[in-house]
A and B are shown apart, each in its own frame.
Chain A
Amino acid sequence: MLDEIREAVVAGDEDAAASHAGHALEGGADPSDVLETLSSAIREIGERFQRGEAFLPEMMLAADAMKAAVAVVQPALLAAGGSTTAKGKVVVGTIQHDIHDIGKNIVATFLQMNGFEVHDMGRDVSPKAFAEKAAEVGADIVAVSVLLTSTMTDVPVVLEEIESAGIRDACAFIVGGAPVTPEWAQAIGADGTAEDAAGAAQLCLELLS
């Protein structure tokens, strides 16, 4: 049954992943084993993507399948005395006036695959909306994506809004995208940046460790 769970996640089959996870638990499987199977499956698809052997849609669907299965496993894990608390809450989005969201979608998917609770605000997100969402969900990290140099100017305003909302101490702020350099990220007061989605997920793990 664990193999079927793994296959369902790799295939991006949300319903099958949840169903197989439920059947595995009914059959007496250890919830932590199911969770490890899910993690292993999602790592596999992530590695395939990084090798250029899997593509964005497959990764997005696999992440959705994992999320559905985790929702099934979570009550059993808690009942068994375990914890499925997410590694952290991340609010992600593309800065306002920028409608390029593929990079952001890859980052959101990698974060989801790495066990973060992701609040994806989509594209063209205002600085105020970032801060409001972060306050609403108690975000640990706000991650802002930007592709165009003329939309970079609004990124520091997100930090200002986070500070105005009084949540800066509890909330890290990271930026990423094609025109972003480590020097620029540091200059605007960000807590970090990464070259790619895998790096962004690693950065988030480090910020919350």
Chain B
Amino acid sequence: MTRQTAGGEMRDRAADFYVRSMGGQKLAERDYDAKVLPAKLRDLVAKYDIRMKDDEIIPLDLDMARRAFEAGRELLLDLGCYCIDTERTIGIAEDEVEEALARAPEAHAYGTGDDVAECVGRGIEDDRPPVVKGGPNGCPLTEEHFIPIMTSVAKEAVGGVHTGALQTVLGVPNRAASPIEIVACKKEALWARQAVAAAGKPGLSILGIMSGVTSEAQDAGDFEGGLRPGDPHLVVFLNELKFDYDLLKKVLHDKYLGAAIDANIGGPLHGGYAGGPETSAVAGVAEALLGFVVCEPSNFSWYPQSLFTGATTGRESLWIAGMLLLAFRASGHGSILDTYVGPQAGPRTEMVCWETAAQAIANVACGASALYGACGAKMVKTDHCTGMETRMLAETSRAAAGMPLAEANEILSRLVPRYAETIAAQAAPAGKPFAECYDVDTVEPREEYVGLWEREKGTLRALGLDVA
């Protein structure tokens, strides 16, 4: 966790990056985002000949995946990363990357007691199903429905839950960097624990904290009755290959707590600084490597969203996530790599079923260790999350386990066109809020929603996914 220097002083990697952030090359952030990074990405994509093919929704060329890994590694070694607080780039050495990859666990048990779920570095076409960490993925939740929503998720066949962000606490609006933000984070952790207990799974792991912006507030989720050290603690890099001091502070807090760290990038963001699918894939490889170097995490997670759709389920996003996973797996790296599932459509719609299934098929076949969510409506609409979307993700993930890449691609080629044009037009239905999908008192899904999912399972079976 920490390393001993020659002088006996305890040093941490995150603290090292703080020191290094003051001595790197000065570079305006706009130049880094718009000039330096995109130019380097374009060069690497050309050098390593990485191309998205028209007939592939997930990549099938494992040699190309290995080249994508090398391209991402070269990006990190050549460009390093960027600290927004000092506006400097920080170089990364080859041995740091090698040590980080060697150190990254290939299995990690989350949760306690009967509710332990072991995440493993699944291989390509691995017949072991991934862990599903169900829930709102950080989407805004009312305090009225926070516990029922989280309970509805925990009731499903999940290996953990991912919390959402409280909008109010005791009727007071949550406000960043204020005292109420601390309370919101404590309530988020406390109520999430109550929710998993209410579902009869008190040992289920809880991924958070989502109600706080500052590292201080996020750290407030750690207390007796709140997050346990073994729960995955989310730390988020900035798009792309950037960090701030809050990230380093959070990592340091978590390390000294002995906590599990989920290092994350809200990307790579297709259409943003990372550019197109090929360049985004290269950026995403480098970002995972950076996460392993800086955070010494138990796992790394991508949220491979598109700037154009706001979702993770479009054709480009599925290809990017597939390439990211295959790049590591085909290169022999069994670290724990996870993905967020963020459909554009919301609860109780046909489309959320299709989008969730598509990402499950794509990511599971390519070797994802865990999938988060699903949370629809682009994760921005209040209380637009229920346990039913988690059920869809869990059931389709199990059905996709062991599926050959070519078969996955064939099914996806029939499934994705059902919704691709709709999400490209940003026209997916936002669906219904939790209270219109579930009986809030019993925390059971309404018949209409259960029936909808059962019908759509038939649709998926007809397309080739053998979902039970």
A binds B: yes
Query: A66: shortest Cβ distance to chain B, in Å?
Result: 14
Q: Which residues of B contact A164 (CB under 8 A)?
A: none
Cα of A54 to Cα of B276 in the assembled complex, Å: 8
In the complex the two chains form, is B424's CB within 8 Å of A52's CB?
yes
A153 contacts chain B at the CB level, 8 A cutoff: yes
Interface residues on B, range: 35 or more
- Size category of the A interface is 20 to 34
Residues on the A chain within 8 Å of B308, using CB: 52
> A55, A64, A106, A150: which contacts B213 (Cβ < 8 A)?
A150
When A150-B184, A178-B378 are in contact, do A56 and B176 touch as well, CB less than 8 Å? no
Q: How far is the CA of A102 from the CA of B165 in the complex (A)?
A: 21
Q: How far is the CA of A105 from the CA of B173 in the complex (A)?
A: 27
Q: Give A97 to B274 CA distance when docked, in angstroms.
A: 24
Assuming A102-B272, A151-B176, A153-B174, is B34 touching A57 (CB within 8 A)?
A: yes
By the criterion CB–CB under 8 Å, are B176 and A150 in contact? yes
Number of A-B pairs, beta carbon distance below 8 Å: 84
Docked-complex contact A98 and B272, CB < 8 angstroms: no
What residues of A have a CB within 8 angstroms of the CB of B163 in the complex?
A: none
Given the complex of chains A and B, what is the CA–CA distance between A121 and B379 in angstroms? Answer: 27
Question: Bound state CA distance, A179 and B272, in angstroms?
Answer: 19
| Cβ B273 vs Cβ A149 within 8 A | no
B272 touches A150 (CB 8 A): no
- In the complex where A149-B174, A153-B176 touch, is A57 in contact with B211 (Cβ < 8 A)? no
Taking CB atoms, residues of chain B closer than 8 Å to A106 are: 307
Establish whether residues B271 and A56, one from each chain, have CB atoms under 8 Å apart when the complex forms. yes
For the complex, is B140 an interface residue (Cβ under 8 Å from A)? yes
Task: Assess the A55–B276 pair: CB atoms within 8 A.
Answer: yes
Closest to B84 in A: A99
Taking the closest CB of chain A, its distance from the CB of B264, in whole angstroms, is 14
Q: Establish whether residues A150 and B244, one from each chain, have CB atoms under 8 Å apart when the complex forms.
A: no
Question: Could you say which of A55, A58, A64 has the most chain B C-beta atoms within 10 Å of its C-beta?
Answer: A55
A47 to chain B, nearest CB (A): 13
Which residues of chain B are near A57, meaning CB under 8 Å?
A: 33-35, 37-38, 273, 275
Q: Inside 8 A of B273's CB, which chain A residues have their CB?
A: 55-57, 102
The answer to whether A98 and B38 touch across the interface, beta carbons within 8 angstroms, is: no
Q: Tell whether, in the assembled complex, residue A56 and residue B213 are in contact, meaning their CB atoms are under 8 Å apart.
A: no
- Nearest-neighbour CB distance to chain A for B57, whole angstroms, equals 16
Q: Does B112 contact A (CB under 8 A)?
A: no
Complex Cα–Cα for A150 and B307 (A): 22
Q: Fill in one digit per residue for B267-286: 1 if any A CB lies within 8 Å of its CB, else 0.
A: 00101111110000000000
In the complex, B390 has a CB within 8 A of chain A? no
Partner of B244, one of A60, A99, A148, A178: A99
Given contacts A149-B140, A149-B174, contact A178 B380 (CB under 8 A): yes
Q: B128 in the interface, Cβ–Cβ < 8 Å?
A: no
Complex alpha-carbon distance, A52 and B211, angstroms: 32
**Measured between C-beta atoms, what is the minimum distance from B52 to chain A in Å?**
13
Chain B stretch 215-249: residues in CB contact (< 8 A) with chain A: 238-239, 244, 246
A30 interface contact, C-beta 8 A: no
Select from chain B the residue with minimum beta-carbon distance to A54. B271
Chain B residues whose CB sits within 8 angstroms of the CB of A98 once the complex forms: 176, 213
Q: A57-B38, A102-B272, A149-B140 are in contact. List 6 more A-B contacts (CB 8 A).
A: A61-B35, A99-B84, A150-B165, A150-B174, A150-B181, A153-B174
Can you pick out 13 interface pairs between chain A and chain B where the beta carbons lie within 8 Å of each other? A55-B274, A56-B33, A56-B34, A57-B34, A96-B177, A97-B176, A99-B238, A99-B244, A148-B165, A149-B174, A150-B167, A150-B184, A178-B378
Please name the 4 residue pairs, one residue from A and one from B, whose CB atoms are nearest each other, closest first.
A97-B176, A153-B175, A57-B38, A57-B34
